[in-house]
Amino acid sequence: MARMGTALILAVVCAAGFVAWISWPKPKPRAYAGLEFAAMTPAATARTPMLEQGGALIQNVDKDSPAARAGILTGEVVAALDGKPVASAAGAARKLRDAAPGSRMTLTLYNIIRGDIRPHQKTLVFDAAPPTLPKKYTVLPPRLLAKKQFGQGAWVAGSAYARRISHGASVRPMALPLLAQGQCSAVAPDEWQVVESGARLFHAASAEGDMHAVFKQVELNPGTTPAGFVASLLHDIFRAPVTAAQPQARPLGFTAISFGNDKDVTGLALWRMDGKLLSVWIAAVPASEAGSALPLTSAVMLSMSCSGPTFPRDPALLPARISARCADGKCGPSDFAASYLSRFRLGYVHAANGDVFLVNTRQDFWANGDAGPGYYRQIGGMAEKLTPGRTN
């Protein structure tokens, strides 16, 4: 009888548990965006100069996910969610996980792969669960539908894509030999040559004469504005009226304009005033080849310098955008101007013998070689680590 009583009690308990289980409210499905986040790398931070702080790097976008349908790309930087700044990757993941299926969210993004310095917005609509699930998820979808990736190696700091693996010392940077005349110098590809050089003037061009880089310093006369002087200088150089965009203020006291003329020339001009001294940098290329030619021409232009006053190094100047002298605390105007290279994701490095190279963070690997993380070049089967900065 005791055994029967025990069995009856167990049966009642099991039945009650089953009733409680089937009547217990099911958890609401979590929203699914198909995004994975990673902490901001130094490279990603450098490529988003208008993002003052915070942000999260998009580590991965699942195929056929809400994020993919919204056109969000791996490698973009998330600056805000529904207008609220993103402080970290963990915060971005938490915000997405708290969303409701079917709800909308607007992401403010920087496309650092393409080089956009200004943000754009994209809106995604959350799903309740991934559209397709691996067979192993027979009951529930994966618990973590938006996550943060931790423990990334130091090599990620120079990589355009956070998911890229370290391939060792495989970078083949573009060599930029010294181009000098008088008191002025620059670094430029082999085929470039000096067109004109004089007191505080340096003008170089490619062998075909279609890419031009100019540096000029002048003390402005009273009543002459920097913008007016630059417009006149552009006209004198290219012998044609120039149409210029609205000037835009840049960090470190610089102003920039984009320009073009009816001779199929387009480019940019950058200038800064130091007291009465105006420093001007100009890059001009064929409009039909601006996408490929303007970054390289700008790298040549921003390396141009003539002897003159030096200034202490500003902490905002990254090592790969300055000269070796500036790294030692003696910076010229070109070192400050070269912060503009963040727009093109380019930088300078040099070898032990002083040779200068141009690195492109979209395609050159930040390697974890024998001498530690950095950019390397191959010399006779040996890998030499390159030092940030240029030596002209």
Mind listing the pLDDT tens digit for each residue in 182-222?
Answer: 888 999 998 899 988 887 889 999 988 889 999 999 888 88
Whole-angstrom distance, CA of residue 14 vs CA of residue 319: 70
pLDDT given at position 3:
53
Output the pLDDT for position 46.
67
Domain 35-134+145-158 class?
Answer: mainly beta
What lies within 8 Å, CB to CB, of 171 at 6+ separation is 359, 364, 365, 367, 375, 376, 377
pLDDT over threshold 70, residue 163: no
CB 385, CB 372: distance < 8 Å? yes
**pLDDT tens across 73-104, in order?**
888 899 999 999 998 888 888 888 888 888 99
Q: Which residue has the higher pLDDT, 130 or 250?
A: 250
**Domain 174-388: which topology?**
Protein Transport Mog1p; Chain A (3.40.1000)
Counting runs of H as helices and runs of E as strands, what totals does the chain give?
Answer: 8, 26
Task: Report the pLDDT value the prediction gives residue 78, as an integer from 0 to 100.
Answer: 92
Average pLDDT, the chain: 78
Lookup result for tokens 């070049």: 377
Helix (H) or strand (E) holding 197: strand 193-198
In this structure, of 200-204, 233-237, 364-368, 387-391, the range with the lowest mean pLDDT score is: 364-368
CB 105 within 8 A of CB 96: yes
User: Which residues are within 8 A (CB) of 2 and not within 5 positions of it... i.e. 6 or more apart?
Assistant: none
For residue 245, give the DSSP letter: P
pTM to 2 decimal places: 0.57
Cα–Cα separations (whole angstroms), residue 297 to 89, 138, 209, 290, 292: 36, 57, 12, 10, 9
- Residue tagged 């790398």 (tokens): 41
Is pLDDT of 62 > 90? no
Give the residue extent of every domain in the chain.
35-134+145-158, 174-388
Within 8 A by CB and 6+ apart from 195, the residues are 203, 204, 205, 212
Q: Do domains 35-134+145-158 and 174-388 have the same CATH topology?
A: no
